[in-house]
Structure 1
Amino acid sequence: MTDLGTLTIPKKKTLDVGNGVSFSTNGHYFTAPSELDLDTCIDGLTAPLSVIAQVTKRCDMDCDYCSETLQRPDPTLDQLDTMRKNLKGVKRAFLSGGEPLLRKDFSEIVDMWHKDFILAVPTNATHGHQHARNIAGKIAYANIGLEGPRGVTNRVRGDYDTIMKGVQALQEAGIPLALSTVVLRSYSEYLPYTVQIADMLGAGKVKLIMPLRKGNALDLAEHEFMSHEEADSVYRRIMELRTTLMWRPAVRLTKWTPENEGHMICVEPNGMANAWPVYVAKDLFEPLGNVMEEPITELWKRYRFKRNHVTKYLGRSILAADYTEPADA
């Protein structure tokens, strides 16, 4: 890794996904040849490419759009070890929340999981200084939730300066970064600043995600939900600026279309694995089974969104521009 603010994303790895098919990944996203036969790929997969494992539901923020407001007890280290064993075959795991860094034993969880998966950590970074040194070199990147400049982030998420202190701690430990933001109409005009911040931080990716009507977002005013056409327009404007200003981070926009339904597999703290988001399901979760009781390979057999899963993680059902390597890389 290089100096603060000029971090580059990890080098690509080649992953065998079965049936003679290989993907490459830099941790942030997967890529495959454009001529890839998806049916051959899907038939070869015996487990998901990526899962979200919620190690806690607790959080020290109360974001306007948060979907994960239903509380559950934290899993024990023994339970997380059982989940780890039963998730064998998965390529990448997000150790998520809530806010995962609230767990005082978070570095122990990373120690337990990092040899089996490409690990990423979605976090608000407010406790980054407590764990950064212990998880450095073991996670592919930390995905920081950030809505943009100080005024915007303070309004919808939490204290910008506290977040950035945590981000600095993660950077100083050499941990690659990505940013993610939920796109609301009231601050959509400021999203280019989010990409500018990501570029200044040396982040590998910016994820723009449309809100879902769940949790706190059930109380959002209707005008905060942009149409797909409006979101496309915002994305095009960002792409124009990205080209003109030579911003390097990958930029991805996820809209909730039929092609993206159920594409994620989210494992709750009690081990219950769900396809998510399933638009007509309660809490948008469609239960698949419990990974404290059976392996993910069995749950994968009954998962009905395999095509959506693969096309999303290959960036084919979303708007996606890849990371631009520095000229002297």
Structure 2
Amino acid sequence: MTHLGMPAVPAQTRRPVGVEFSAQGHHFHAPDDLDVQAAAEAATAPLSVIVQVTKRCNFDCNMCSETLQMPDPTLQQLDTMRQNLAGTARVFLSGGEPMMRKDFSDIVDMWHQDAILAVPTNATHGMEHAKRIAGKVAYANVGFEGPRAAFQRIRSHDYDLTMTGIRALQEHGIPISMSAVVTRSYLPSMPYVVQIADVLDAGKVKFIMPLRKGNALKLPEHEFISNDEAEQAFSRLVAERTTHRWSPALRLTTWTPENEGHMICVEPNGVARAWPVYEAPDLWLEIGNVLHEPVSDIWKRYPYKRNHLQKYLSRTISSVPQGV
């Protein structure tokens, strides 16, 4: 268990008292009686921020929301972002596919002293970076719609290459979690993903509803299921997990008013955006730029503080803890 006070942060930066990060479960948690609204107003930095170190990707997933390209940030720009994000508890070094950067290990070296690091990845470049990032990354979150046929239909890439990358990460002691986007045609595959995650000793499996953005705009309308349908599928999955004694934690995020704007995503140009904001263009709401100002200033004007804390404390999503 890692208390959020462990990374060195400026004295003026405040995080919610009592909030901790479970390295084993890959999540934040807090006492049940935490006053989330008061905690959000008292904090001066977010719990979690996504930093896109690149927009490039070697996959072409049919539900991907990140299809617009822009130049990669330089190491100097990333270092400025790092300094301006001081006080953020966890940073996702994300993409695109972040490990496509040849200098990805250098980026991890730059950031790992200042925040809990996680890496959303398709794992296909895991062999290139696993050794150097070992011990510096809390976990890698692998986008994974397996079994094989579903994976290759959705991700348009090599299932075996991803599995090879997962094994390389694990061989160097980097914990794994998995995530999958839930469309109607994907529903029958959900139990198989949890079974695969159980075999791989993944800490959790996250299921996320698609958003109408990027490649997902080309999905047929019938592929978008309702929140009720998603919750029913998740309930069936939880029952199967109990029957088969699968161990990964399970999460389901649906797009409700309580989850609006809960993510803070920093694009390669430093622009910080709340996401998803349902009525905003491209679901983005610009809230600042971490190349030019500290995250504490951005947090002051961020309109979704409560939603941010509630989601990352698993209070506005369906959640089942790790264990059999």
Give the distance between the partners of 2:252 and 2:46, measured in 1 at CA: 21
Question: What amino acid sits opposite 2:125 in the alignment?
Answer: H
Q: Given the alignment of the two structures, is residue 22 of structure 1 paired with residue 18 of structure 2, yes or no?
A: yes
User: Pairwise mapping of residues 167-178 of structure 1 onto structure 2 (< 5 A)?
Assistant: 167-178=166-177
CA-to-aligned-CA distance 1:54-111 (integer Å, 9 cap, x gap): 0000000000000000100000000000000000010000000000000000000000
User: Pairwise mapping of residues 62-81 of structure 1 onto structure 2 (< 5 A)?
Assistant: 62-81=60-79
Contact 1:176–1:204, Cα closer than 8 Å, also in 2 = yes
Give the distance between the partners of 2:102 and 2:69, measured in 1 at CA: 18
- TM-score, normalising length: structure 1: 0.94
Shift of 1:20: 7.2
Range that drifts further, 42-51 or 16-25: 16-25
CA 1:20–1:295 in 2, change beyond 3 Å: closer, same or farther?
Answer: closer
Counterpart of 2:233 in structure 1 is 234
CA-to-aligned-CA distance 1:184-241 (integer Å, 9 cap, x gap): 1102111000011111111101000000000000000001101111101110011001
May I ask how many residue pairs the two structures share in their alignment? 314
Give the distance between the partners of 2:244 and 2:300, measured in 1 at CA: 46
Shift of 1:15: 2.3
Segments of 5+ residues of structure 2 without an aligned counterpart are: 6-12
Question: What amino acid sits opposite 1:223 in the alignment?
Answer: H
Give the distance between the partners of 2:291 and 2:16, measured in 1 at CA: 30
Shift of 1:40: 2.4
Counterpart of 2:50 in structure 1 is 52
SS of aligned partner of 2:273: strand
Q: Given the alignment of the two structures, is residue 111 of structure 1 paired with residue 100 of structure 2, yes or no?
A: no
Give the distance between the partners of 1:205 and 1:162, measured in 2 at CA: 21
Question: What amino acid sits opposite 2:85 in the alignment?
Answer: L
Contact 1:19–1:40, Cα closer than 8 Å, also in 2 = no
CA-to-aligned-CA distance 1:257-308 (integer Å, 9 cap, x gap): 0000000000000000000000111111100111000000000000000010
Shift of 1:247: 1.1
Question: What amino acid sits opposite 1:112 in the alignment?
Answer: M
SS of aligned partner of 1:131: helix
SS of aligned partner of 1:66: coil
Contact 2:16–2:43, Cα closer than 8 Å, also in 1 = no
Counterpart of 1:9 in structure 2 is none
SS of aligned partner of 1:21: coil
Range that drifts further, 37-46 or 250-259: 37-46
Q: Over aligned residue pairs, what C-alpha RMSD do you find?
A: 1.2
Contact 1:275–1:287, Cα closer than 8 Å, also in 2 = yes
Contact 2:144–2:178, Cα closer than 8 Å, also in 1 = yes
SS of aligned partner of 1:198: helix
CA 1:165–1:42 in 2, change beyond 3 Å: closer, same or farther?
Answer: same
SS of aligned partner of 1:22: coil
Counterpart of 1:198 in structure 2 is 197
Give the distance between the partners of 2:293 and 2:271, measured in 1 at CA: 10
Counterpart of 1:263 in structure 2 is 262
Q: Given the alignment of the two structures, is residue 291 of structure 1 paired with residue 290 of structure 2, yes or no?
A: yes
Counterpart of 2:8 in structure 1 is none
Shift of 1:14: 2.0
Counterpart of 1:13 in structure 2 is 2
Counterpart of 1:254 in structure 2 is 253
Give the distance between the partners of 1:308 and 1:210, measured in 2 at CA: 17
Counterpart of 1:123 in structure 2 is 121
Counterpart of 2:10 in structure 1 is none
Give the distance between the partners of 1:305 and 1:263, measured in 2 at CA: 6
Counterpart of 1:136 in structure 2 is 134
Give the distance between the partners of 2:319 and 2:14, measured in 1 at CA: 25
Give the distance between the partners of 1:120 and 1:156, measured in 2 at CA: 23
Range that drifts further, 282-291 or 12-21: 12-21
Give the distance between the partners of 2:186 and 2:286, measured in 1 at CA: 34
SS of aligned partner of 2:292: coil
Contact 1:18–1:41, Cα closer than 8 Å, also in 2 = no
Shift of 1:18: 4.4
Counterpart of 1:5 in structure 2 is none
Counterpart of 2:206 in structure 1 is 207
Counterpart of 1:273 in structure 2 is 272
Shift of 1:43: 2.2
Contact 2:15–2:45, Cα closer than 8 Å, also in 1 = no
Give the distance between the partners of 1:294 and 1:24, measured in 2 at CA: 27
Give the distance between the partners of 1:279 and 1:299, measured in 2 at CA: 20
Shift of 1:19: 7.9
Shift of 1:23: 1.0
Contact 1:19–1:43, Cα closer than 8 Å, also in 2 = no
CA-to-aligned-CA distance 1:151-173 (integer Å, 9 cap, x gap): 11011102111110111111111
